[in-house]
């Protein structure tokens, strides 16, 4: 009977284990492809103490346990050590040919700015859930990004590692609970998008129509406030989408002006992401009148503006091109700034408290339309269809906020009408 091999401390070594003359332990194994590999450690078990100058690492038998389990489950441990997060992202983007250009640009931008600098170079087998959670914390607390951007980063990271799980490169997805745990430890206060009050809405639109500087875009703002369309949908509106006889606007696409994968900015047409985005919006009389006023304007005699085969757009600037979303945003900021300056001067002269306009965006105008509809008790399923909400919960949230004040008014109106004490 052959004598069992032992280490320098007299401990019996298992199959595949050995100890070098310098005291370092080795474990040799054959992977699923027949290739031989070796792992090393100064410690046989985790309780072994290191000598001075020896580098700490996982104990050899802890490595063995993981390696043998991975071999039994056909997990490609070596691939996890040689595949980086950058590699996963490149593979993911190559596979996802179905992604729209806008989504590809968004993924590339978030990955390049926030994910790559932190874990891009790391082997995927060494990325820990806590490291991913820390990445989200850095994004929100240090980089100052919106929590929704951190959530988009989580979606990207989760998909990358899930692909590695499906390919048996790693056993579990380290991003599985990272964002959930991050939410527990972080105070996520997304920007509150409050709709305009009825008074603020009147002040806003009246000021635009009375302004020499901004009234050229008044028709666009009437359409935004009177239809609840997303800004890209309104800018992409064509005359053939407006049925004046039936009083219907057909929403089938949006017009975007964004950076492409080549780094250049350009206009492009984007179809709605969900079936709910394809919809018909009835025209208010004021919306119809605004569109007809826009049609009556003298149009530019410059070259016809065409984007991806689409032309005959409703809202064109002096150069015969559609306004960009950033231009509309800047215009809204200019309107509120100018109004608030004038209101300050008037209030000072009239010795009263000023009635300022809050910060406004195109999305807030959409939210304002939805709120006005809720206040008029419109059928919730009808409103969901008009807004193009995929999930009725989104519509319900607006309903709940809109009726918050009305609930108090309704209850207080009953004060004293029946005996309770």
* Catalytic residue annotation: 230, 273, 363, 366, 389, 399
Residues with Cβ within 8 Å of residue 146, at least 6 apart in sequence = 190, 191
Whole-number Cα distances in Å, 187 to 140, 149, 203, 236, 413: 10, 15, 35, 37, 38
CB atoms within 10 A of CB 204: 21
| Spatial separation of the C-alpha atoms in residues 163 and 143, rounded to whole Å | 28
Residues with Cβ within 8 Å of residue 385, at least 6 apart in sequence = 276, 279
| Spatial separation of the C-alpha atoms in residues 316 and 354, rounded to whole Å | 35
How far out from the chain centre does Cα 224 lie? 23
| Spatial separation of the C-alpha atoms in residues 22 and 369, rounded to whole Å | 77
CB 371 within 8 A of CB 401: yes
């Amino acid at each position: 009977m052959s004598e069992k091999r032992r280490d320098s401390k007299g401990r019996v070594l298992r199959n595949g284990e050995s100890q070098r003359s310098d005291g370092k332990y080795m474990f040799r194994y054959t992977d699923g492809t027949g290739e031989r590999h070796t792992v090393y450690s100064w410690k046989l078990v985790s309780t072994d103490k290191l000598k001075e100058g020896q580098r700490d690492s996982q104990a050899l038998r802890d490595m063995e346990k993981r390696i043998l389990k991975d071999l039994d489950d056909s997990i490609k441990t070596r691939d996890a050590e040689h595949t980086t997060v950058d590699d996963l992202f490149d593979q993911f983007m190559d596979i996802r040919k179905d992604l729209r250009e806008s989504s590809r640009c968004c993924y590339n931008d978030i990955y390049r700015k926030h994910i790559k600098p932190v874990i891009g170079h790391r082997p995927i087998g060494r990325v820990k859930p806590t490291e991913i959670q820390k990445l989200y914390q850095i994004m929100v607390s240090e980089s100052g990004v919106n929590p929704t951007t951190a959530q988009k980063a989580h979606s990207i990271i989760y998909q990358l590692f899930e692909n590695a799980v499906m390919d048996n490169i790693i056993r579990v997805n380290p991003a599985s609970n990272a964002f959930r745990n991050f939410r527990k430890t972080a105070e996520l206060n997304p920007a509150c998008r409050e709709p305009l009050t009825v008074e603020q809405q009147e002040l806003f639109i009246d000021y635009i129509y009375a302004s020499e500087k901004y009234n050229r875009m008044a028709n666009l703002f009437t359409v935004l406030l009177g239809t609840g369309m997303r800004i890209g949908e309104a800018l992409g509106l064509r005359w053939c989408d407006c049925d004046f006889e039936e009083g219907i606007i057909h929403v089938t696409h949006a017009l975007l002006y964004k950076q492409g994968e080549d780094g250049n900015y350009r206009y492009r047409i984007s179809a709605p992401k969900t079936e709910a985005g394809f919809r018909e919006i009835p025209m208010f009389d004021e919306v119809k009148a605004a569109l007809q006023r826009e049609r009556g304007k003298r149009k530019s005699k410059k070259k016809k503006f065409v984007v991806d085969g689409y032309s005959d757009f409703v809202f064109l600037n002096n150069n015969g091109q559609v306004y960009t979303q950033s231009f509309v945003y800047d215009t809204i900021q200019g309107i509120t700034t100018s109004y608030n300056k004038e209101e300050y001067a008037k209030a000072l002269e009239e010795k009263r408290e000023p009635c300022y306009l809050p910060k406004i965006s195109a999305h807030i105008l959409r939210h304002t339309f939805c709120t006005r509809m809720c206040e008029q008790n419109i059928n919730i399923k009808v409103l969901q269809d008009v807004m193009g909400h995929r999930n009725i919960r989104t519509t319900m949230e607006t309903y709940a906020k809109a009726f918050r004040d009305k609930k108090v008014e309704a209850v207080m109106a009953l004060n004293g009408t029946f005996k309770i004490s």
